[in-house]
Amino acid sequence: MQNILDRFISYITVDTQSDPNNPAFPSTEKQWVLARLLEQELQEIGLSDVMLDNNCYLTATLPSNVMHKVPTIGFVAHIDTSPDFSGKNVNPQIHYNYNGGDIVLNKELNILLDATYFDDIQQYKGQTIITTDGTTLLGADDKAGVTEIVTAMEYLIQHPEIEHGEIRICFTPDEEVGKGAHKFDVAAFGAEWAYTLDGSQIGELEYENFNAASAVVTVQGKNVHPGYAKNKMVNAILLAQDFIKGLPADEIPEKTTDYQGFYHLHDIHGDVEKTTLEYIVRDHDLEKFEDRKKCMESLVSSLNQNYKETVFSIEIKDQYFNMKEKIAPVMHIVDIAAEAMKKENIKPLIKAIRGGTDGSQLSYMGLPCPNIFAGGHNFHGKYEYVPLESMKRATKVIVNIAEITANKYKQV
């Protein structure tokens, strides 16, 4: 437990925020700092083939310790943190023997982790909870996953009596800005399948995710002096509201759950002359996903007809697709993960991800890659936390997957 705690804190105190507005790869130089620290650590614990490539992908190998043939499997996590909230100067708070009530994150700023509002935390009563100090995110997304993979590899090296085949690991940059798998070399990685450690609550096991697209709506106005604006000014800010109101009001993140898709307006900026709306579009069902994109395009066309000129324009870009299509033919890899959890007395919570992971893109690149819990909650904000015990048990799940896979192929 102390080893996991110390390792996790050493990672989260390194600022690795990615930048969605920088086309460079990785999008921030500071991601290299943690990558190089990890490179050295992987060498020190005894992994082979440790390589940090020119794109900030760090890979390593744990060689097989059995004589029979076992498929090479992989474990993947990302080193960057969300650009949505500060990851600089993370000051973790350790709350031992959590009593089940509210947690004061920052007394001076009156910031409270309300156990009624964030009621998931109550299931961890009696455990050690790691939180922020209320001024930054924590970085459990996904440095908890990184911690668990490194610790599991170290444990397997220290316990050679546990049989396993060859294991490959990879730590990726820029997952939070949707580029985590863009330069991943699946062929060089050489695994038959892999698992991302990037889920939330203990027990999560996911092989379905959203189909995803980004949409940028541009509204073109005409700016003239307001004193002479009669029948001349076209206020793009006001017209933008017509587009916002034209989409289904209840199909937004805060009003949807489970398999329900949404339109999410996450940024709006501009002035009278030009206003831009930035959306993400999500749906698990591919047909409904395509319908959502068509709905936005149709709304743009309809509004332009109303104004009798091209005031609105839209650019839609697909981001990733539901990995279920690629996982379904190889469901035994999900079954192995479920068995690994049950061996640790964890009930698998098999559900669809309301988001995406590197695994969704990797699955379409030829590396089937379900997602496993890393233990954190309330990602991307100051209320983020992770129970230390969840990290320990995720570490054991990795070890169990390695052992179960080796034993299954021993019987073939």
Residues with catalytic annotation?
80, 175
Write the single-letter amino acid at 137. L
- 312 within 8 A of 217, measured Cβ to Cβ: yes
Q: How far apart are CA 337 and CA 396, in angstroms?
A: 11
Q: How far apart are CA 43 and CA 377, in angstroms?
A: 31
Q: How far apart are CA 57 and CA 357, in angstroms?
A: 16
What's the token pair of residue 398? 């990795």
Phi, psi values for residue 166, rounded to 5°: -70, 135
- Determine which helix (DSSP H) or strand (DSSP E) holds 228, and give its type and residue range: none
Closest to 393 (Cα-Cα) out of 167, 143, 195, 147: 147
Helix, strand, coil shares of the chain as percentages rounded to 5?
Answer: 35, 25, 40
Q: Which residue reads 């959502």 in tokens?
A: 292
Q: What is the dihedral of CA 180, 182, 185, 190, to 10 degrees?
A: 60
Q: How far apart are CA 281 and CA 291, in angstroms?
A: 11
Sheet holding 211-220, edge to edge: 262-270, 274-283, 211-220, 312-320
- 61 within 8 A of 166, measured Cβ to Cβ: yes
Q: Residue 13: helix, strand or coil by DSSP?
A: coil
Could you count the other beta carbons within 10 Å of the beta carbon of residue 225? 8
